[in-house]
Amino acid sequence: MKKKVVIIGGGFAGLGLAKALDTKLFDITLIDKLNHHQFQPLFYQVATSQIEPSSISFPFRFVFRGNENIKIRMAEVVEVSPTLNKVFTSTGELGYDYLIVATGCKTNFFNNASIEKHSFTLKSTYDAISIRNQIISVFEKILTANEAELEALFNLVIVGAGPTGVELAGAFAEIKRYVLPKDYPGIDFSKFSVYLIEGSKKPLSAMSEKSSKTSLDYLEKMGVKVITETFVKEYDGKVAVLSNGTSIPTATLIWAAGVKGNKINGLPQDVWIANDRIIVDRFNKVKGFENIFAVGDIAFMTTPEYPKAHPQVANVAINQAKLLAKNLKHIILNKPCREYEYKDLGAMATIGRNKAVVDLPYIRFKGYFAWLVWMFLHLMLILTVRNKLIIFINWAWTYVTKNSALRLILKSDKER
Protein backbone atom coordinates (compact mmCIF):
# COMPACT_ATOMS: atom_id res chain seq x y z
CA MET A 1 0.00 0.00 0.00
CA LYS A 2 1.30 3.45 -0.92
CA LYS A 3 2.43 5.81 1.81
CA LYS A 4 0.73 9.20 2.07
CA VAL A 5 3.06 12.18 1.78
CA VAL A 6 1.78 15.68 2.54
CA ILE A 7 3.97 18.61 1.43
CA ILE A 8 3.24 22.06 2.82
CA GLY A 9 4.49 24.75 0.43
CA GLY A 10 5.04 24.88 -3.31
CA GLY A 11 8.28 26.82 -3.56
CA PHE A 12 11.54 25.45 -4.98
CA ALA A 13 11.77 22.79 -2.26
CA GLY A 14 8.14 21.67 -2.12
CA LEU A 15 7.63 21.64 -5.87
CA GLY A 16 10.95 19.89 -6.45
CA LEU A 17 10.11 17.20 -3.90
CA ALA A 18 6.66 16.57 -5.37
CA LYS A 19 8.22 16.15 -8.82
CA ALA A 20 11.03 13.88 -7.58
CA LEU A 21 9.04 11.45 -5.37
CA ASP A 22 8.36 7.97 -6.75
CA THR A 23 4.60 7.89 -7.41
CA LYS A 24 4.69 4.08 -7.44
CA LEU A 25 5.46 4.20 -3.71
CA PHE A 26 3.76 7.42 -2.58
CA ASP A 27 0.45 9.23 -2.81
CA ILE A 28 1.39 12.91 -2.71
CA THR A 29 -0.63 15.94 -1.65
CA LEU A 30 0.84 19.41 -2.17
CA ILE A 31 -0.74 22.20 -0.09
CA ASP A 32 -0.20 25.87 -0.86
CA LYS A 33 -2.22 29.01 -0.18
CA LEU A 34 -1.67 29.96 -3.84
CA ASN A 35 -2.53 27.91 -6.91
CA HIS A 36 0.85 28.51 -8.52
CA HIS A 37 4.60 28.32 -8.06
CA GLN A 38 6.44 31.66 -8.10
CA PHE A 39 9.95 32.14 -9.50
CA GLN A 40 11.30 34.40 -6.80
CA PRO A 41 14.69 35.39 -8.33
CA LEU A 42 12.89 37.44 -10.99
CA PHE A 43 10.36 39.22 -8.77
CA TYR A 44 12.43 42.38 -9.08
CA GLN A 45 11.95 42.35 -12.86
CA VAL A 46 8.18 42.29 -12.42
CA ALA A 47 8.47 45.14 -9.90
CA THR A 48 10.49 47.20 -12.39
CA SER A 49 8.17 46.50 -15.37
CA GLN A 50 10.64 44.35 -17.29
CA ILE A 51 8.58 41.14 -17.47
CA GLU A 52 4.95 40.21 -16.85
CA PRO A 53 3.90 38.34 -13.68
CA SER A 54 2.56 35.43 -15.76
CA SER A 55 6.06 34.81 -17.13
CA ILE A 56 7.32 33.65 -13.72
CA SER A 57 4.13 32.05 -12.36
CA PHE A 58 3.36 28.37 -12.94
CA PRO A 59 -0.03 26.85 -11.98
CA PHE A 60 0.50 23.66 -9.98
CA ARG A 61 -2.27 21.89 -11.86
CA PHE A 62 -0.49 22.64 -15.13
CA VAL A 63 2.85 21.40 -13.79
CA PHE A 64 1.30 18.10 -12.61
CA ARG A 65 -1.42 17.68 -15.20
CA GLY A 66 -2.05 14.05 -16.11
CA ASN A 67 -0.44 12.83 -12.87
CA GLU A 68 -3.24 11.32 -10.77
CA ASN A 69 -0.87 10.46 -7.92
CA ILE A 70 -0.22 14.11 -7.05
CA LYS A 71 -3.13 16.04 -5.54
CA ILE A 72 -3.15 19.82 -5.23
CA ARG A 73 -4.93 21.55 -2.38
CA MET A 74 -5.19 25.34 -2.36
CA ALA A 75 -5.56 26.05 1.35
CA GLU A 76 -4.08 27.72 4.42
CA VAL A 77 -2.53 25.33 6.94
CA VAL A 78 -4.14 26.01 10.32
CA GLU A 79 -2.23 23.45 12.39
CA VAL A 80 -0.39 20.15 12.20
CA SER A 81 -0.92 17.34 14.71
CA PRO A 82 2.09 15.03 15.02
CA THR A 83 0.22 12.79 17.47
CA LEU A 84 -2.70 12.26 15.06
CA ASN A 85 -0.55 12.41 11.90
CA LYS A 86 -2.90 15.00 10.47
CA VAL A 87 -2.76 18.44 8.85
CA PHE A 88 -5.69 20.76 9.53
CA THR A 89 -6.32 23.30 6.77
CA SER A 90 -8.86 25.96 5.88
CA THR A 91 -10.55 23.44 3.57
CA GLY A 92 -10.43 20.32 5.76
CA GLU A 93 -8.03 17.83 7.28
CA LEU A 94 -5.51 15.47 5.70
CA GLY A 95 -3.84 12.39 7.14
CA TYR A 96 -0.21 11.55 6.40
CA ASP A 97 2.45 8.93 6.81
CA TYR A 98 5.18 11.47 6.06
CA LEU A 99 4.88 15.24 6.47
CA ILE A 100 7.25 17.64 4.74
CA VAL A 101 7.33 21.29 5.77
CA ALA A 102 8.53 23.50 2.90
CA THR A 103 6.88 26.77 3.87
CA GLY A 104 9.87 28.97 3.01
CA CYS A 105 10.42 32.43 4.43
CA LYS A 106 8.72 35.78 4.75
CA THR A 107 9.97 39.31 5.38
CA ASN A 108 11.51 39.98 8.78
CA PHE A 109 10.74 43.48 10.08
CA PHE A 110 12.60 42.83 13.35
CA ASN A 111 9.49 43.78 15.38
CA ASN A 112 9.32 47.27 13.88
CA ALA A 113 5.59 47.89 13.52
CA SER A 114 5.85 51.25 11.71
CA ILE A 115 8.10 49.85 8.99
CA GLU A 116 5.92 46.76 8.60
CA LYS A 117 2.81 48.90 8.20
CA HIS A 118 4.11 51.40 5.67
CA SER A 119 6.85 49.71 3.62
CA PHE A 120 6.68 47.56 0.50
CA THR A 121 8.12 44.05 0.43
CA LEU A 122 9.17 41.69 -2.37
CA LYS A 123 8.29 38.13 -1.34
CA SER A 124 5.53 37.34 -3.85
CA THR A 125 4.29 38.14 -7.33
CA TYR A 126 1.58 40.25 -5.71
CA ASP A 127 4.26 42.26 -3.86
CA ALA A 128 6.07 42.84 -7.16
CA ILE A 129 2.87 44.11 -8.80
CA SER A 130 2.23 46.39 -5.80
CA ILE A 131 5.70 47.95 -6.16
CA ARG A 132 5.17 48.42 -9.89
CA ASN A 133 1.81 50.10 -9.23
CA GLN A 134 3.36 52.34 -6.59
CA ILE A 135 6.30 53.52 -8.69
CA ILE A 136 4.18 54.38 -11.72
CA SER A 137 1.53 56.00 -9.52
CA VAL A 138 4.20 58.17 -7.91
CA PHE A 139 5.16 59.69 -11.25
CA GLU A 140 1.55 60.30 -12.13
CA LYS A 141 1.25 62.19 -8.82
CA ILE A 142 4.44 64.20 -9.43
CA LEU A 143 2.80 65.85 -12.44
CA THR A 144 0.21 67.58 -10.23
CA ALA A 145 1.84 67.56 -6.77
CA ASN A 146 2.60 70.75 -4.84
CA GLU A 147 6.11 71.70 -3.72
CA ALA A 148 5.61 70.29 -0.22
CA GLU A 149 4.86 66.81 -1.61
CA LEU A 150 7.52 66.63 -4.31
CA GLU A 151 10.61 65.76 -2.26
CA ALA A 152 9.06 62.58 -0.82
CA LEU A 153 7.76 61.54 -4.24
CA PHE A 154 11.20 62.00 -5.82
CA ASN A 155 12.98 59.75 -3.29
CA LEU A 156 12.92 55.95 -3.57
CA VAL A 157 14.47 54.11 -0.62
CA ILE A 158 15.50 50.44 -0.74
CA VAL A 159 16.59 48.88 2.54
CA GLY A 160 18.94 45.89 2.39
CA ALA A 161 21.82 45.52 -0.07
CA GLY A 162 21.69 41.78 -0.62
CA PRO A 163 21.01 40.50 -4.14
CA THR A 164 17.36 41.64 -4.09
CA GLY A 165 18.19 45.17 -2.97
CA VAL A 166 21.11 45.55 -5.34
CA GLU A 167 19.14 44.23 -8.31
CA LEU A 168 16.19 46.51 -7.53
CA ALA A 169 18.43 49.57 -7.14
CA GLY A 170 20.24 48.90 -10.40
CA ALA A 171 17.00 48.30 -12.30
CA PHE A 172 15.37 51.48 -10.99
CA ALA A 173 18.50 53.49 -11.81
CA GLU A 174 18.26 52.28 -15.41
CA ILE A 175 14.54 53.01 -15.63
CA LYS A 176 15.28 56.52 -14.39
CA ARG A 177 17.83 56.99 -17.17
CA TYR A 178 16.33 55.22 -20.17
CA VAL A 179 12.58 54.77 -19.72
CA LEU A 180 10.75 57.23 -17.50
CA PRO A 181 12.01 60.45 -19.17
CA LYS A 182 10.31 59.31 -22.39
CA ASP A 183 7.05 58.55 -20.58
CA TYR A 184 7.11 61.75 -18.52
CA PRO A 185 8.89 64.46 -20.56
CA GLY A 186 7.61 67.14 -18.19
CA ILE A 187 9.47 65.76 -15.15
CA ASP A 188 13.05 66.68 -14.22
CA PHE A 189 14.51 63.25 -13.44
CA SER A 190 17.73 64.70 -12.08
CA LYS A 191 15.65 65.21 -8.92
CA PHE A 192 14.72 61.51 -8.70
CA SER A 193 17.01 59.72 -6.22
CA VAL A 194 17.41 56.01 -5.56
CA TYR A 195 18.78 55.27 -2.08
CA LEU A 196 20.16 51.88 -1.02
CA ILE A 197 20.52 51.54 2.75
CA GLU A 198 22.64 48.70 4.18
CA GLY A 199 23.40 47.86 7.80
CA SER A 200 26.74 46.16 7.11
CA LYS A 201 29.90 47.69 5.67
CA LYS A 202 29.22 46.83 2.02
CA PRO A 203 26.62 45.66 -0.49
CA LEU A 204 26.46 41.94 -1.33
CA SER A 205 28.30 41.21 1.90
CA ALA A 206 27.82 37.43 1.46
CA MET A 207 29.82 37.51 -1.79
CA SER A 208 33.55 38.03 -2.30
CA GLU A 209 35.27 41.31 -1.50
CA LYS A 210 35.91 41.83 -5.21
CA SER A 211 32.26 41.34 -6.19
CA SER A 212 31.07 43.55 -3.35
CA LYS A 213 33.37 46.38 -4.39
CA THR A 214 32.43 45.96 -8.05
CA SER A 215 28.72 46.13 -7.25
CA LEU A 216 29.28 49.32 -5.23
CA ASP A 217 31.22 50.88 -8.11
CA TYR A 218 28.48 49.96 -10.58
CA LEU A 219 25.72 51.34 -8.37
CA GLU A 220 27.47 54.62 -7.67
CA LYS A 221 28.26 55.16 -11.36
CA MET A 222 24.57 54.58 -12.09
CA GLY A 223 23.65 57.31 -9.63
CA VAL A 224 22.41 55.15 -6.75
CA LYS A 225 23.09 56.72 -3.35
CA VAL A 226 24.50 53.83 -1.28
CA ILE A 227 24.54 54.34 2.49
CA THR A 228 26.27 51.59 4.50
CA GLU A 229 26.60 50.82 8.23
CA THR A 230 23.21 52.45 8.71
CA PHE A 231 19.77 51.17 9.69
CA VAL A 232 16.27 52.52 9.13
CA LYS A 233 14.82 53.05 12.60
CA GLU A 234 11.34 54.31 11.70
CA TYR A 235 9.14 54.93 8.69
CA ASP A 236 5.67 56.47 8.84
CA GLY A 237 4.91 56.41 5.11
CA LYS A 238 6.38 59.87 4.63
CA VAL A 239 9.82 60.04 6.26
CA ALA A 240 12.46 57.36 6.85
CA VAL A 241 14.49 58.00 10.01
CA LEU A 242 18.03 56.55 9.86
CA SER A 243 20.31 55.39 12.66
CA ASN A 244 22.96 57.97 11.66
CA GLY A 245 20.58 60.76 12.68
CA THR A 246 19.45 61.81 9.22
CA SER A 247 16.02 61.51 7.65
CA ILE A 248 14.90 60.91 4.08
CA PRO A 249 11.45 62.09 2.97
CA THR A 250 10.05 59.28 0.81
CA ALA A 251 6.69 58.04 -0.39
CA THR A 252 8.20 54.66 -1.29
CA LEU A 253 10.32 52.45 0.95
CA ILE A 254 11.03 48.88 -0.13
CA TRP A 255 12.12 46.58 2.70
CA ALA A 256 14.54 43.84 1.62
CA ALA A 257 16.56 43.67 4.82
CA GLY A 258 15.88 40.23 6.24
CA VAL A 259 13.76 37.10 6.34
CA LYS A 260 12.33 34.66 8.85
CA GLY A 261 10.54 31.35 8.47
CA ASN A 262 6.85 30.95 7.73
CA LYS A 263 5.97 29.32 11.03
CA ILE A 264 3.18 26.74 11.33
CA ASN A 265 1.25 25.78 14.45
CA GLY A 266 1.45 22.35 16.04
CA LEU A 267 5.15 21.57 16.16
CA PRO A 268 6.75 21.80 19.63
CA GLN A 269 8.59 25.00 20.48
CA ASP A 270 11.96 23.28 20.88
CA VAL A 271 12.20 22.50 17.13
CA TRP A 272 12.25 26.22 16.27
CA ILE A 273 15.19 28.61 16.44
CA ALA A 274 14.94 32.38 16.99
CA ASN A 275 14.20 33.37 13.38
CA ASP A 276 11.47 30.74 12.99
CA ARG A 277 13.45 28.05 11.19
CA ILE A 278 13.05 24.37 12.04
CA ILE A 279 15.97 22.38 13.42
CA VAL A 280 16.64 19.34 11.23
CA ASP A 281 19.33 16.65 11.10
CA ARG A 282 21.49 15.77 8.10
CA PHE A 283 18.54 13.86 6.57
CA ASN A 284 16.22 16.89 6.88
CA LYS A 285 14.35 15.08 9.64
CA VAL A 286 12.74 17.42 12.19
CA LYS A 287 14.21 17.15 15.67
CA GLY A 288 12.32 14.56 17.72
CA PHE A 289 10.28 13.04 14.87
CA GLU A 290 10.73 10.07 12.54
CA ASN A 291 8.12 10.99 9.92
CA ILE A 292 8.28 14.80 9.76
CA PHE A 293 10.84 16.57 7.59
CA ALA A 294 11.63 20.17 6.65
CA VAL A 295 13.37 21.32 3.48
CA GLY A 296 14.47 24.58 1.90
CA ASP A 297 14.63 27.98 3.58
CA ILE A 298 12.63 26.86 6.61
CA ALA A 299 15.14 24.10 7.46
CA PHE A 300 18.03 24.86 9.83
CA MET A 301 20.68 22.21 9.24
CA THR A 302 24.17 22.52 10.69
CA THR A 303 27.13 20.58 9.30
CA PRO A 304 30.90 20.69 9.88
CA GLU A 305 31.29 22.85 6.76
CA TYR A 306 28.27 25.02 7.62
CA PRO A 307 28.11 25.31 11.43
CA LYS A 308 25.71 28.26 11.10
CA ALA A 309 23.47 26.35 8.65
CA HIS A 310 23.25 26.49 4.89
CA PRO A 311 22.47 29.71 3.03
CA GLN A 312 18.81 30.28 2.17
CA VAL A 313 19.15 29.99 -1.59
CA ALA A 314 17.32 28.08 -4.32
CA ASN A 315 20.17 25.64 -4.93
CA VAL A 316 20.00 24.35 -1.34
CA ALA A 317 16.21 23.95 -1.50
CA ILE A 318 16.27 22.13 -4.83
CA ASN A 319 19.01 19.70 -3.84
CA GLN A 320 17.62 18.98 -0.36
CA ALA A 321 14.32 18.10 -2.04
CA LYS A 322 15.98 15.76 -4.55
CA LEU A 323 17.92 13.95 -1.84
CA LEU A 324 14.91 13.67 0.48
CA ALA A 325 12.90 12.09 -2.34
CA LYS A 326 15.61 9.43 -2.67
CA ASN A 327 15.89 8.96 1.09
CA LEU A 328 12.14 8.48 1.56
CA LYS A 329 12.25 5.79 -1.11
CA HIS A 330 15.19 4.16 0.67
CA ILE A 331 13.27 4.20 3.96
CA ILE A 332 10.42 2.30 2.30
CA LEU A 333 12.83 -0.16 0.72
CA ASN A 334 14.92 -0.56 3.91
CA LYS A 335 18.02 0.87 2.29
CA PRO A 336 20.53 3.25 3.93
CA CYS A 337 19.88 6.97 3.59
CA ARG A 338 22.46 9.56 2.58
CA GLU A 339 23.28 12.71 4.54
CA TYR A 340 22.91 16.09 2.86
CA GLU A 341 25.79 18.47 2.34
CA TYR A 342 25.66 21.68 0.37
CA LYS A 343 28.05 22.00 -2.53
CA ASP A 344 28.59 25.69 -3.01
CA LEU A 345 28.31 26.30 -6.74
CA GLY A 346 28.78 30.04 -6.31
CA ALA A 347 26.70 33.20 -6.15
CA MET A 348 25.76 35.93 -8.58
CA ALA A 349 23.87 39.19 -8.86
CA THR A 350 23.01 41.52 -11.70
CA ILE A 351 23.19 45.26 -11.26
CA GLY A 352 21.72 46.26 -14.60
CA ARG A 353 22.28 46.19 -18.32
CA ASN A 354 25.61 44.47 -19.11
CA LYS A 355 26.53 44.58 -15.42
CA ALA A 356 26.73 41.58 -13.09
CA VAL A 357 29.08 39.86 -10.68
CA VAL A 358 29.64 36.11 -10.46
CA ASP A 359 31.51 34.20 -7.75
CA LEU A 360 32.30 30.59 -8.66
CA PRO A 361 34.37 28.25 -6.47
CA TYR A 362 37.59 28.86 -8.41
CA ILE A 363 36.95 32.00 -10.43
CA ARG A 364 35.27 35.38 -10.09
CA PHE A 365 34.31 37.68 -12.93
CA LYS A 366 32.17 40.69 -13.70
CA GLY A 367 30.69 42.76 -16.49
CA TYR A 368 29.05 41.71 -19.74
CA PHE A 369 30.05 38.03 -19.64
CA ALA A 370 28.88 37.74 -16.02
CA TRP A 371 25.58 39.32 -17.07
CA LEU A 372 25.16 36.73 -19.85
CA VAL A 373 25.92 33.90 -17.42
CA TRP A 374 23.38 35.29 -14.95
CA MET A 375 20.70 35.46 -17.65
CA PHE A 376 21.41 31.98 -19.00
CA LEU A 377 21.36 30.25 -15.61
CA HIS A 378 18.14 31.96 -14.52
CA LEU A 379 16.52 31.17 -17.85
CA MET A 380 17.41 27.49 -17.44
CA LEU A 381 15.68 27.39 -14.04
CA ILE A 382 12.36 28.56 -15.51
CA LEU A 383 9.96 25.60 -15.57
CA THR A 384 8.43 25.59 -19.05
CA VAL A 385 9.81 26.06 -22.55
CA ARG A 386 6.99 28.51 -23.28
CA ASN A 387 7.97 30.74 -20.36
CA LYS A 388 11.66 30.49 -21.23
CA LEU A 389 10.84 31.80 -24.71
CA ILE A 390 8.59 34.57 -23.42
CA ILE A 391 11.21 35.82 -20.96
CA PHE A 392 14.00 35.56 -23.54
CA ILE A 393 11.97 37.57 -26.06
CA ASN A 394 11.15 40.19 -23.41
CA TRP A 395 14.80 40.46 -22.42
CA ALA A 396 15.93 40.72 -26.05
CA TRP A 397 13.31 43.36 -26.82
CA THR A 398 14.21 45.38 -23.72
CA TYR A 399 17.92 45.12 -24.52
CA VAL A 400 17.46 46.43 -28.06
CA THR A 401 14.87 49.12 -27.32
CA LYS A 402 15.68 49.92 -23.67
CA ASN A 403 11.91 49.93 -23.19
CA SER A 404 9.62 47.08 -22.13
CA ALA A 405 6.26 48.91 -22.48
CA LEU A 406 4.83 46.94 -19.52
CA ARG A 407 4.13 49.91 -17.25
CA LEU A 408 0.52 49.21 -16.31
CA ILE A 409 -1.14 50.24 -13.06
CA LEU A 410 -3.32 47.29 -12.09
CA LYS A 411 -5.48 48.06 -9.08
CA SER A 412 -9.01 47.19 -8.07
CA ASP A 413 -11.55 49.97 -7.49
CA LYS A 414 -11.19 49.40 -3.74
CA GLU A 415 -7.37 49.84 -3.89
CA ARG A 416 -7.72 53.02 -5.94
Q: Are 23 and 149 contained in the same domain?
A: no
Structural domain of residue 214, as residue ranges?
A: 113-257
Q: Are 216 and 286 contained in the same domain?
A: no
- Cα 112 off chain centre by: 21
314-371: pLDDT as tens digits: 999 999 999 999 999 999 999 999 999 998 889 999 999 999 999 998 899 999 999 9
405 pLDDT band, cuts 50/70/90, is low
Q: Are 320 and 189 contained in the same domain?
A: no
Q: Is the C-alpha dihedral spanning 365, 368, 371, 373 positive or negative?
A: negative
Last residue of a domain, one of 242, 257, 272: 257
Q: Are 250 and 119 contained in the same domain?
A: yes
- The enclosing domain of 231 has a CATH number of 3.50.50.100
Q: Is residue 353 part of a domain?
A: no
* 399 pLDDT above the threshold of 90: no
> Residue 242 and residue 94: Cα distance in Å, rounded?
48
Mean pLDDT, residues 105-127: 95
412 pLDDT band, cuts 50/70/90, is low
pLDDT of amino acid 416: 57
Q: Is residue 44 part of a domain?
A: no
354-369: pLDDT as tens digits: 999 999 988 999 999 9
Query: DSSP 3-state helix, strand, coil percentages of the chain (rounded to 5)?
Result: 35, 25, 40
Q: Are 265 and 251 contained in the same domain?
A: no
26-36: pLDDT as tens digits: 999 999 999 99
> Residue 273 and residue 163: Cα distance in Å, rounded?
24
Q: Are 191 and 283 contained in the same domain?
A: no
Last residue of a domain, one of 299, 332, 365: 332
Q: Is residue 191 part of a domain?
A: yes
| DSSP one-letter code for 121 | -
Last residue of a domain, one of 332, 348, 369: 332
Q: Are 237 and 147 contained in the same domain?
A: yes
Q: Which pTM was predicted?
A: 0.93
Q: Are 207 and 243 contained in the same domain?
A: yes
Tell me how many domains the chain contains: 2
Q: Are 120 and 246 contained in the same domain?
A: yes
Mean pLDDT score of the chain: 94
Q: Are 269 and 323 contained in the same domain?
A: yes
| Per-position DSSP letters for 241-280, written without gaps between them | EETTS-EEE-SEEEE-S-EEE---TTS-GGGB-TTS-EEB
Mean pLDDT, residues 128-151: 93
- 3-state secondary structure at position 343: coil
Q: Are 92 and 125 contained in the same domain?
A: no
- The enclosing domain of 95 has a CATH number of 3.50.50.60
* 277 pLDDT above the threshold of 90: yes
Q: Are 118 and 243 contained in the same domain?
A: yes
Across the beta sheet with 92-95, the strand order is 77-81, 86-89, 92-95
252 pLDDT band, cuts 50/70/90, is very high
pLDDT of amino acid 343: 87
pLDDT of amino acid 315: 92
